[in-house]
Each structure stands twice: as structure tokens, then as C-alpha cells.
Chains A and B, each alone.
Chain A
Amino acid sequence: EAQVTQNPRYLITVTGKKLTVTCSQNMNHEYMSWYRQDPGLGLRQIYYSMNVEVTDKGDVPEGYKVSRKEKRNFPLILESPSPNQTSLYFCASSLMGTAKTPLHFGNGTRLTVT
């Protein structure tokens, strides 16, 4: 089944403790991206990647890192999480990263930073 898989689904952590949220897709998509969803703000793009070893900042990249060493994986790294990073995170992929190839989303990771 074609899918984008995120892990974990739920994560509670403390301020400053490094964490990684994994994202994997099995559709051989070139483009991958991370979003966060917050009440009243919708989905905001954190980082995106057009291909292996090519990453770029979205609208809200501060406090996050990403890497794209393999085509299928695009982990999101929070080196020193803070409470304002408490949010619902979505990973997404698309065939070519153009608007005409819609995004496929994972089921989300709900992160709480205390």
C-alpha cells in the first residue's frame, strides 16, 4: 500500500531533550516536506526537500533540522525542544514537488514538550 509513515504517533518530552520524528514513504517520491498544524494557524511548512541531499527552509524552520540521505526517508530533528514546539506534525511527499502533483500526508505526530 502506498503510504507515508510517521513515527511515533504521540510523543511527550521535556524541554531540551533532543528528539527525532521519522518519516518514510514507499512511493519513490522526489519531494518530501514537514508541516506543523496549530489552532488558528493552519498548516505551516517547516522544511522541504526536492531530492536526496537537497533541503530548504519553509516558513517556520527555527528550532528544527532535517536531513535527506535517502530518497524514502526525511526525519525531523528537534535538537533542543521547547514548549512552543508543542504541535501536531505532518510529513508529506509528492512525486515531483510541483503543485500539480498533490501531497500525500502521513497520519501525524502529536508532540508535547513540557
Chain B
Amino acid sequence: DQQVKQNSPSLSVQEGRISILNCDYTNSMFDYFLWYKKYPAEGPTFLISISSIKDKNEDGRFTVFLNKSAKHLSLHIVPSQPGDSAVYFCAASKPTGNQFYFGTGTSLTVIP
């Protein structure tokens, strides 16, 4: 039973434009959300996170938005760069924090 879902397996965006990656979750116990980025032949690396007490967190070109009522979060990348081409995983955690639930990933391609 997939508790974290990324319904878009892939996304293509022109360089300089905005990339929006979406993530939905079903478990209302989740209180912390993270985005990881993965390049081929490497492990995922942490990108940005957000606590459920916030609705937005920003780090440079990356912003994560959280809509708790809709159980939805999104990652915005502005402006998109070719080096952002990777698979992005959304993850969620409950207050105990010792288990992380990942989505299926969205493959982003930024076209130069």
C-alpha cells in the first residue's frame, strides 16, 4: 500500500523555466516531508524538507509547498538548469521519525 505517491513518472522542462514536481500522501500521521534527488549510478541525496507546521520552505532555487488539507506537497525549481535533470523522490515520516516512506520518483529532464 503506497502511502506516498508521485503520479508523474516523468517531466520535461525547458532550461530557465519552472519545474513543478508533485507528491501526494495518504497517512495523516506524517509530519515531516523531504525531497531527495538521484542521479544515475548514485544514491539519493537530500535536497530540501518541510515540517507539517509550515506550508512553505525555500532554499535557493528550490521551494517546497505543503498543503495539509489536501495531503499534497510540491517541489518548485526556479529557474531549472540542465544539472537538475535527475530522479526526484518525495519522502514522508511520522513523529517517531525512524521510518521513511518514499514515493516512486519523478524523472525530471531539463532541456537546454
Contact = CB atoms under 8 A, between A and B. Distances in A.
A94 to B, nearest CB: 9
B32 interface: yes
Interface residues of A, number: 28
Contact of B49 (A4, A90, A102, A108): A102
B41 A103 contact: no
Interface string A50-93: 10000010110000000000000000000000000000001010
A101 to B, nearest CB: 8
Contacts, number: 68
Given A100-B32, A100-B49, A105-B44, A48 B104 contact: no
Given A99-B32, A99-B49, A100-B49, A44 B41 contact: no
B25 interface: no
A42 B3 CA distance: 11
Contacts of B32: 99-100
Interface residues of B, number: 27
A48 B98 contact: yes
A45 B100 contact: yes
16 contacts: A31-B98, A42-B2, A42-B6, A42-B89, A43-B89, A43-B102, A56-B98, A97-B97, A99-B31, A99-B34, A99-B100, A104-B46, A105-B36, A106-B43, A108-B41, A108-B42
Interface of B: 2, 4, 6, 31-32, 34, 36, 41-46, 49, 51, 89, 91, 93, 97-105
Given A42-B102, A108-B42, 11 more contacts: A4-B43, A35-B102, A42-B6, A43-B89, A44-B102, A45-B99, A58-B99, A59-B101, A90-B43, A103-B46, A103-B100
